[in-house]
């Protein structure tokens, strides 16, 4: 068995709970999907380009790119990759926000038969260095604002080729005067591009020009080949790469479309994409599923800038949107959003973190549309369950459940003794289906712990299924936090803070927050009493992405421990979950 591959999967014995959710399926939703519909994601992409050639595929900062133009640029990028020696199975890291370059680089990499490694552009040098080393990526496409991070992280990695792109790239035809003006403004006036030294780096427009002059050599890519190494935190705090095959991702985009049950019309939809496409939720649903129906995809570079977001939507009568609980809340606080005409809106999806009832109820009252709640995880490409998609101005009230399994998916709850739970009995939520990952990259032991011989993936989340097949989550991985839709694991934070010479011991937990869902709180035992909160947080910001940096720090004389010396985070959650100001 090759490194990181899952154990062989055997037939799974049926269980009493299997399929009871079909009674809750809307009549227009098929029970099964057929992943063999496409040979690979490259085949899928080429068919979409051919079907919708003249339609606009993506919009960014007022500039449009048709499907035909996207296809031409993606193939040019694939040719460039071949020209610099990228072979099928090689890893290409993409480190950028939602610009027109992302889909070009995404599909170009897949067409070349290489593996996409999505990277959060906000990663610190330490985080990026780990991901580059672990994946073995030799090629990186990076947004210029984050090129210095690549510069500092490159030593010790296998990276040989770096392609640098900017916000202005691909925003106009010909000389691209609009794009050049934007880049000059950002670099020289607003000073938003830190200086970097990457002497061998190639700018994206030059790479595309070179690729366009080269002959592309078609490659054979099949269902079993890896399309993405998508990194996710682990319960140990070590980021692991989920190997998602072409079949995994094709299956999940077809599952998402099947769940829409005919609500969406080919060539007529407009989808708003505020969530970063490097996130698996946005990648599968926005970049892929909506591509399949020829949707006009409105890319939002920075969703935190609500003013710019609303300006991007000023002339877009969108029919669908995906967002997190926090973004929906922020949008509904905006006067311009509240005053919009939502009569065209067909589908509003929420995922990435739990949706609060108050947000769902406000959204329904404002738009007449019920938020569709999705549940998934990176290891499942990601969609596992969803609440029904309903007609505009219809549907049931938000009930806080995660709905039922999507087509071709089995979900069971596993008891602590390993047996399958019955209806209404809590247990660990386990998934079996074509969207379940191949395994963790180069981590066969972790793969074996997560996926059993029958192909059941253990999520670590505790849930229960009622007699209708509807699932509610009772608890999630006991120590994991979700901050603004991103998984945050305490061990990683603790490892970083413990490296400070004035720290003796540290533990991290999540505390509720009405804006971000949760925030990080750190309990610290000082080795040196001169350590201050400001000093510790300054240290943390050097090594952690912003959303992982503790919002609260509480110094203590000791941490609660078990008899064998493990920190009792449960006790800290019980008596320390009320946010207090950071204190000395």
pLDDT of residue 175: 61
pTM for this structure?
Answer: 0.86
What lies within 8 Å, CB to CB, of 27 at 6+ separation is none
166 lies in a domain?
yes
Kindly list the distances between the CA atom of residue 20 and the CA atoms of 25, 31, 425, 468, in Å, as whole numbers in the listed order: 10, 12, 15, 6
* Cβ burial 387-396 (10 Å sphere, 16+ → b, else e): bbbbebeebe
pLDDT of residue 9: 52
411 vs 433: CA distance, rounded Å = 9
Reading the block at residue 449, the tokens are 């712990």
Domain count, the chain: 2
pLDDT of residue 579: 58
In the sheet that 517-526 helps form, which strands lie side by side, from edge to edge? 503-513, 517-526, 552-555
485 lies in a domain?
yes
pLDDT of residue 304: 86
pLDDT of residue 46: 98
- Three-state DSSP class for 303? coil
pLDDT digits (tens, 9 = 90+) for 510-548: 999 988 899 999 999 999 999 999 999 999 999 999 999
pLDDT of residue 505: 87
541 vs 549: CA distance, rounded Å = 6
Do β-strands 320-323 and 347-350 pair in parallel, antiparallel, or remain unpaired?
A: parallel
CATH number at residue 107: 3.40.50.980
pLDDT of residue 174: 63
pLDDT of residue 5: 46
Closest among 366, 379, 254 to 321, alpha carbons compared: 366
Closest among 69, 123, 63 to 99, alpha carbons compared: 63
316 vs 336: CA distance, rounded Å = 13
413 vs 175: CA distance, rounded Å = 58
Closest among 171, 201, 219 to 73, alpha carbons compared: 171
DSSP annotation of 439: E
Q: Report yes or no: 252 and 382 within 8 Å, Cβ to Cβ.
A: yes
278 vs 117: CA distance, rounded Å = 9
483 vs 437: CA distance, rounded Å = 24
Specify the residue for token string 């269980």: 15
527 vs 540: CA distance, rounded Å = 17
Greatest Cα pair distance, the chain, in angstroms, is 70
First vs last C-alpha separation in the chain: 53
pLDDT digits (tens, 9 = 90+) for 422-454: 999 988 999 999 999 999 999 999 999 999 999
Considering only CA atoms, give the Rg of the chain.
Answer: 24
514 vs 356: CA distance, rounded Å = 9
Using 70 as the pLDDT threshold, list the residues of the chain that sit under it. 1-11, 173-175, 177, 179, 185, 188-190, 233-237, 390-396, 475-478, 562-566, 576-584
569 lies in a domain?
yes
Peptide bond into 491 cis (omega under 30): no
334 vs 144: CA distance, rounded Å = 31
Reading the block at residue 478, the tokens are 């006991």
Reading the block at residue 347, the tokens are 């589908």
206 vs 212: CA distance, rounded Å = 10
148 lies in a domain?
yes
pLDDT of residue 237: 56
249 vs 559: CA distance, rounded Å = 44
Q: Report yes or no: 292 and 33 within 8 Å, Cβ to Cβ.
A: no
321 lies in a domain?
no
322 lies in a domain?
no
Domain ends where: 221, 240, 255?
221
DSSP annotation of 79: H
Domain ends where: 176, 199, 221?
221
Q: Report yes or no: 89 and 226 within 8 Å, Cβ to Cβ.
A: yes
Q: Report yes or no: 388 and 455 within 8 Å, Cβ to Cβ.
A: no
Closest among 528, 146, 120 to 539, alpha carbons compared: 528
* Cβ burial 417-429 (10 Å sphere, 16+ → b, else e): eeebbeeeebbbb
pLDDT of residue 399: 81
Kindly list the distances between the CA atom of residue 391 and the CA atoms of 3, 26, 172, 318, 357, in Å, as whole numbers in the listed order: 46, 11, 37, 15, 20
Reading the block at residue 175, the tokens are 């000389």
- Three-state DSSP class for 543? helix
Q: Which domain holds residue 87?
A: 67-221
Q: Report yes or no: 428 and 458 within 8 Å, Cβ to Cβ.
A: yes
441 lies in a domain?
no
413 vs 283: CA distance, rounded Å = 28
87 lies in a domain?
yes
Domain ends where: 221, 250, 275?
221
> How large is the angle between the packed helices 101-111 and 41-51, nearest 10 degrees?
130
CATH number at residue 532: 3.30.300.30
Q: Report yes or no: 481 and 38 within 8 Å, Cβ to Cβ.
A: no
Residue 331: which H helix or E strand, with range? helix 325-332
Q: Report yes or no: 285 and 256 within 8 Å, Cβ to Cβ.
A: yes
Kindly write down the DSSP assignment for every residue of 544-568, as one continuous string: S-GGGS-SEEEE-S---B-TTS-B-
pLDDT of residue 37: 96
């Amino acid at each position: 068995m090759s490194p990181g591959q899952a154990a062989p999967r055997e037939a799974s014995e049926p269980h009493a709970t299997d399929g009871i959710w079909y009674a809750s399926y809307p009549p227009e939703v098929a029970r099964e999907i057929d992943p063999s519909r496409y040979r690979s994601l490259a085949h899928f992409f080429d068919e979409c380009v051919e079907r919708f050639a003249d339609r606009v595929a993506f919009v960014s900062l007022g500039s449009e790119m048709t499907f035909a133009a996207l296809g031409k640029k993606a193939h040019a990028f694939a040719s460039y990759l071949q020209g610099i020696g990228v072979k099928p199975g090689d890893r290409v890291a993409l480190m950028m926000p939602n610009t027109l370059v992302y889909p070009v680089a995404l599909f170009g990499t897949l067409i070349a038969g290489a593996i996409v490694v999505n990277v959060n552009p906000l990663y610190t040098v330490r985080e990026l260095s780990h991901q580059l080393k672990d994946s073995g990526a030799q090629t990186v496409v990076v947004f210029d604002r984050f090129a210095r991070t690549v510069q500092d992280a490159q030593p010790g990695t296998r990276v040989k080729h770096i392609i640098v792109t900017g916000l202005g790239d691909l925003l106009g035809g010909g000389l691209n005067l609009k794009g050049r003006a934007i880049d000059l403004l950002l670099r020289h006036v607003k000073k938003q591009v830190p200086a970097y030294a990457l002497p061998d780096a190639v700018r994206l427009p030059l790479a595309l020009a070179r690729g366009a002059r080269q002959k592309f050599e078609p490659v054979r890519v099949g269902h079993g080949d890896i399309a993405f190494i998508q990194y996710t935190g682990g319960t140990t705090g070590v980021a692991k790469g989920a190997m998602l095959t072409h079949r995994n991702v094709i299956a999940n985009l077809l599952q998402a479309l099947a769940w829409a049950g005919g609500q969406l019309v080919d060539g007529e939809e407009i989808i708003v994409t505020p969530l970063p496409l490097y996130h698996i939720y946005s990648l599968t649903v926005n970049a892929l599923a909506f591509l399949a129906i020829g949707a006009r995809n409105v890319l939002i570079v920075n969703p935190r800038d609500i003013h710019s977001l609303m300006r991007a939507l000023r002339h877009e009568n969108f029919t669908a949107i995906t967002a997190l609980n926090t973004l929906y809340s922020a949008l509904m606080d905006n006067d311009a959003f509240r005053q919009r005409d939502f009569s065209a809106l067909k589908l509003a999806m929420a995922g990435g973190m739990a949706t609060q009832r108050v947000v769902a109820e406000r959204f329904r009252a404002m738009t007449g549309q019920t938020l569709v709640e999705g549940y998934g995880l990176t290891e499942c490409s990601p969609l596992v369950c969803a609440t029904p998609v309903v007609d505009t101005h219809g549907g049931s009230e938000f009930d806080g459940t995660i709905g039922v399994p999507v087509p071709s998916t089995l979900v069971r709850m596993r008891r602590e003794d390993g047996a399958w739970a019955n209806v209404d009995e809590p247990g660990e939520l386990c998934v079996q289906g074509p969207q379940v990952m191949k395994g963790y990259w180069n981590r066969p032991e972790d793969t074996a712990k997560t996926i059993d011989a029958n192909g059941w993936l253990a999520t670590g989340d505790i849930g229960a299924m009622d007699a209708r097949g509807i699932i509610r989550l009772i608890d999630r991985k006991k120590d994991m936090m979700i901050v603004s839709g991103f998984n945050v694991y305490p061990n990683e934070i603790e490892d970083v803070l413990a490296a400070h010479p004035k720290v003796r011991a540290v533990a991290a937990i999540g505390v509720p927050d009405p804006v971000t869902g949760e925030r990080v709180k750190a309990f610290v035992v000082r080795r040196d009493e001169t350590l201050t909160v400001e000093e510790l947080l300054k240290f943390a910001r050097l090594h952690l992405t912003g959303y992982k940096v503790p919002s609260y720090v509480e110094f203590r004389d000791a941490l609660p421990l078990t008899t064998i010396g493990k920190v009792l985070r449960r006790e800290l959650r019980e008596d320390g979950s009320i946010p207090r100001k950071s204190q000395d």
